[in-house]
Amino acid sequence: MLSSGSAAIGVSALASTAYGNERTEVAEYANEGGFFHADYKKHDDLKQMLDSNKDSLKLEAMKRIIGMIAKGRDASDLFPAVVKNVVSKNIEVKKLVYVYLVRYAEEQQDLALLSISTFQRALKDPNQLIRASALRVLSSIRVSMIVPIVMLAIRDSASDMSPYVRKTAAHAIPKLYHLDPEQKDELIVVIEKLLADRTTLVVGSAVMAFEEVCPERTELIHKNYRKLCNLLADVDEWGQVLIINMLTRYARTQFLDPNADDDYDYQAAENKPFYEDESDSDASESRRKESSVASPRKTYTLDVD
């Protein structure tokens, strides 16, 4: 028989082994992305966590919800529980709530409209990320009744001190234009202002908005052409593609052809024999000089900035 001391040691060892195995299983589960699995936490548990008074539980719930979305799982049934936390004082929770709302605002328009006043207040938040996220959510709600609110938000954000917020305003312009094309004239005024921005973070998005809304208004590019050329090397890759395509089209339609008034006979040059004697060469050179004296080559200048 085992003594009581030996039995206690054996039980302790088994408990330690079991605890160690459990920790190992949890670690392996986490490494395999188990926390993002739909069965790790049921939606009811997530709703309870979102209704909690503890920011730590809300933050954990939002992280798992965003993880579900990242894996392509539907989390739209959590919208009522998530949208209530848009007034959270915790910055991390609020940012994740805005990420969720951008994804589902168009599908749950009625519920999103209930938080319009909250988004409007968030546009004045000291944190630039909150201001930008609020504008992004507002512009994602495709309801015609809030068009004036979104237009005002875009106009104010285009003058924001933060380049990130101004960039977000540029991205919101095409969304509003596709929702209500009648706002085109007011949006062009905002685009003109953003095109004059000298921040590399903004100009690429401004050109994107220009190409989406009013690509025919080339006069908006005249005074910004040289600036866009100078900033091109420092713009991000996606912005560079947009700017290069726009500048290429601009150059082809706005620049003069330097050979338009040239008297050079291209047909005669093509028919000219490959080999010729010196006398023929001298005669051709003298004719070319006489032609250049009679009609001097015209000098072209670029449009005034």
Q: What is the mean pLDDT of residues 131-152?
A: 90
The answer as to whether 116 is a domain residue is no
The answer as to whether 251 is a domain residue is yes
Both tokens of 173, joined, read 């312009």
Nearest to 85 by CA among 58, 110, 65: 58
Check which CATH number belongs to the domain holding 181 and give it: 1.25.40
Q: Which pLDDT score is estimated for 249?
A: 92
The answer as to whether 219 is a domain residue is yes
Q: Which pLDDT score is estimated for 47?
A: 87
Is the alpha carbon torsion for 232, 235, 236, 239 positive or negative?
negative
Nearest to 219 by CA among 98, 135, 305: 305
Give the percent of the chain with pLDDT over 70: 70
Element at 286 (helix H, strand E) = helix 278-294
For the chain, the first-to-last Cα distance in angstroms comes to 101
* Banded model confidence at residue 255, pLDDT cuts 50, 70, 90: confident
Q: Which pLDDT score is estimated for 16?
A: 46
Residue 86: is its pLDDT beyond 80?
A: yes
CB burial readout 208-234, b (16+ within 10 A) else e: bbbbbbbeeeeebbeebbeebeebbee
* Banded model confidence at residue 40, pLDDT cuts 50, 70, 90: very low
Q: Which pLDDT score is estimated for 271?
A: 63
Q: Domain range holding 189? A: 145-255
Both tokens of 71, joined, read 């894996």
Q: Which pLDDT score is estimated for 302?
A: 52
The answer as to whether 107 is a domain residue is no
The answer as to whether 236 is a domain residue is yes
Residue 207: is its pLDDT beyond 70?
A: yes
* Banded model confidence at residue 292, pLDDT cuts 50, 70, 90: low
The answer as to whether 171 is a domain residue is yes
Which residue has 């054996």 as its token pair?
A: 10
Q: What is the mean pLDDT of residues 222-232?
A: 92
Q: Report the range of poorest mean pLDDT among 39-43, 160-164, 179-183, 217-221.
A: 39-43
Q: What is the mean pLDDT of residues 123-141?
A: 90
What's the domain count of the chain? 1
Q: Report the range of poorest mean pLDDT among 55-69, 112-126, 157-171.
A: 112-126
SS3 268: helix
The answer as to whether 169 is a domain residue is yes
Q: Report the range of poorest mean pLDDT among 133-142, 196-205, 264-273, 289-298.
A: 289-298
Rounded Cα gap, residues 50 and 86, in angstroms: 11
Other C-beta atoms lying within 10 Å of the C-beta of residue 196: 14
Both tokens of 145, joined, read 């009744």
SS3 76: helix
The answer as to whether 127 is a domain residue is no
**C-beta of residue 47 within 8 angstroms of C-beta of residue 78:** yes
Residue 261: is its pLDDT beyond 50?
A: yes
Model pLDDT for residues 110-128, shown as the tens digit of each residue: 887 888 888 888 999 899 9
Q: What is the mean pLDDT of residues 2-23?
A: 46
